[in-house]
Amino acid sequence: MNNLIKIVDGEAKVVDRDPWEIQEDSDASVADNRIVPLARWQVLTDSAKVRAAVLLYPDDDPEILAPWLGQIELIALMFPSFRDGRAYTQAVLLRSRLGFEGELRAVGDVLRDQLAAMRHCGFSSFAVREDRPAEEALKGLFGFDRIYARTVLSPEPLFRQRTTRAYRK
């Protein structure tokens, strides 16, 4: 997958070579390192012959994956448009309620301005739109990193962090 930014050990980097590819064609045979839609992935898990990651669209329910979350290496969440934020909710659900610890990738209409919010929702990699350079989008992770509300990255809201620090001094 081209134009990929990945967070490794807390540091965001542009990835030169990523072994994963999205394969949306449900009729094609599936090889290893493919990211396939949920319905196709469910068929593959029954056969257990292929190492595949799962692609969730905004209408897919992430809770369906609960029994397999310890075995899934990568879940890609689709942003069909930058205006469609349902994948943010899916990410928070996967990380906080379901406890998914693998790679959580944003795919589709992913833009620089969204990256900081995506990271706070639990995304660990970002497939930036092909018409935008990943090196430029990388700056979106460093511009504004403080968010007032509670997030997956900072479960304690900002006002509590300030109060806690004031009492420690």
Tens of pLDDT, residue by residue over 34-63, are 899 998 888 877 665 667 799 999 999 999
Range of the domain at 120: 4-168
Residue 117 pLDDT grade (very low, low, confident, very high; cuts 50, 70, 90): confident
Q: What confidence tens digit (pLDDT) does each residue in 134-167 have?
A: 888 888 777 555 555 556 655 666 555 555 555 4
**Contact indicator for 91, 65 with CB cutoff of 8 Å:** no
Interatomic CA distance for residues 92 and 97, integer angstroms: 8
Burial 152-163 (b: 16+ CB within 10 A, else e): bebeeeeeeeee
pLDDT at 44: 79
pTM score over 0.75: yes
Residues 78-107: what's their mean pLDDT? 94
pLDDT at 64: 94
pLDDT at 101: 94
Domain count, the chain: 1
pLDDT at 128: 92
Residues 105-118: what's their mean pLDDT? 90
Residues 5-20: what's their mean pLDDT? 89
Residues 93-102: what's their mean pLDDT? 94
Interatomic CA distance for residues 50 and 58, integer angstroms: 25
pLDDT at 167: 47
SS (H, E, C) 77-115: EEECCCCCCHHHHHHHHHHHHCCCCCEEEEEECCCHHHH
What CATH number does residue 71 fall under?
3.40.50
Q: Which residue has the higher pLDDT, 18 or 48?
A: 18
